[in-house]
Homo-oligomer: A and B are copies of this chain.
Amino acid sequence: MFEDRSKRTELSEIGEFGLIDLISKNTELLNSSTIKGIGDDCAVLDAGHQKVLISTDLLVEGVHFDLTYTPLKHLGYKAVAVNLSDIAAMNAIPQQITVSLALSNRFSIEAVEELYKGIHLACKKHKVDLVGGDTTSSQKGLIISITAIGYASDDQIVYRNGAKEHDLICVSGDLGGAYVGLLSLQQEKSEFVANPDMQPELDGKEYILERQLKPEPRTDIVLELQKLGIKPSAMMDISDGLGSELKHICKQSGVGCTIYEEKIPIFQQTWDIARKFDLDPTTCALNGGEDYELVFTIKQSDYERIKTLNDVHVIGHITNEESGLTLITKNGVSAPIKAQGWDGLK
């Protein structure tokens, strides 16, 4: 749908080392902690007195992404973004990534270059160095494995297990957009399959499509919290869905939580399109996933300071373990939070 098929060079023409050269050529190193990038057995990183954080993701075509409606450049950008988001979720700043690719012979050099354009753009935007990786062939489709490396001082790192009773629950940005964006793309795809001459109808969906195709890791929130002197007691990024992430935080912290439906931030376009799909916008926000916003808990005494951040919303508070996970709906009904996070194996 998006891939430019006008020029095609086979990967076998340049081979693995040719491909590595191609990738290296466009790789700029930004961080002084990067001592050695691509071109040796390992990347070398200067940790100094900092802690090193490592996160890794494996993305498989047909499982995690569909190239009929995901432009390769966006895919590259998103693959990096979601890994950086994992580092941000620890209250740390990502500085390096490694990218490994397995490619079937369906992919041309131009396709790989397009993918790396997105990877490099995400690196540049988030000041991250591409320091290594591996490239090989696959029997079927495209597989992307990314490892992100971040740094934080010992007392700055935030785990999932530190939430305490009475802490406030905050989320950044807004939720549910990535999910309704995905539904819109899937709908376009099925209409495209039925009628290939059809022009995609994406007007008025720009925001939700960008949420799905080009999510941003919220390292900006990490930096803002540091400026305000707020250290969350627990934090995660929202990849599987708010409900699923709250379940993890509560389980690991040995607590419960109460959140208020009316406080969950949902963008107007997300709301409207969810309704067009006959879906409850709150359900999309709770279970949709892929928003890559941060959900975190803070002490009540941090409330006045957190209020100064426009893009952070207090949606509830931590309770004791016995109270379980509760949603108070707009009409005042208590309902247990169902976590239907995405499971890569089901």
Interface size class of A (residues with CB under 8 A): 35 or more
Q: How far is A263 from B138 in the complex, measured between Cα atoms in Å? A: 38
Given contacts A40-B159, A147-B98, A159-B40, contact A15 B53 (CB under 8 A): no
What is the CB-to-nearest-CB distance from A261 to chain B, in angstroms, rounded to a whole number? 26
Q: Choose from B53, B61, B63, B135 the contact partner of A42 (Cβ within 8 Å).
A: B53
Q: Are B139 and A62 in contact (CB under 8 A)?
A: yes
Which residues of B have CB within 8 Å of A103? 345
Q: How far is A343 from B134 in the complex, measured between Cα atoms in Å? A: 11
What is the CB-to-nearest-CB distance from A91 to chain B, in angstroms, rounded to a whole number? 10
Q: Choose from B53, B131, B139 the contact partner of A60 (Cβ within 8 Å).
A: B139
Which residues of B have CB within 8 Å of A305? none
Q: Are A102 and B63 in contact (CB under 8 A)?
A: yes
Residue interface mask A1-33, B partner, CB < 8 A = 1: 000000000011011110100000000000000
Q: Are A145 and B237 in contact (CB under 8 A)?
A: no
Interface membership of A222, Cβ < 8 A: no
For window 124-144 of A, CB contacts with B under 8 Å fall at 131-141, 143
Q: Are A135 and B102 in contact (CB under 8 A)?
A: no
Smallest Cβ-Cβ distance to A35: which chain B residue: B51
Interface membership of A330, Cβ < 8 A: no
Q: How far is A52 from B17 in the complex, measured between Cα atoms in Å? A: 25
Which residues of B have CB within 8 Å of A51? 35, 44-47
Q: How far is A139 from B36 in the complex, measured between Cα atoms in Å? A: 35
Interface membership of A57, Cβ < 8 A: yes
Which residues of B have CB within 8 Å of A70? none
One of A82-90, A183-191, A306-314 contacting the partner: A82-90
Q: Are A137 and B63 in contact (CB under 8 A)?
A: yes
Residues of A within 8 A of B (CB): 11-12, 14-17, 19, 35-36, 39-58, 60-64, 86-87, 89-90, 92, 96, 98, 100-103, 131-141, 143, 145, 147-150, 154, 157, 159-160, 236-237, 252, 343-346
Closest 9 CB pairs of A and B: A47-B47, A136-B344, A145-B145, A42-B53, A58-B100, A41-B86, A41-B89, A45-B52, A140-B140
Q: Supply 10 A–B pairs (Cβ within 8 Å), ascending by A.
A: A12-B346, A42-B53, A42-B86, A43-B53, A44-B53, A44-B90, A56-B100, A56-B132, A98-B147, A137-B345
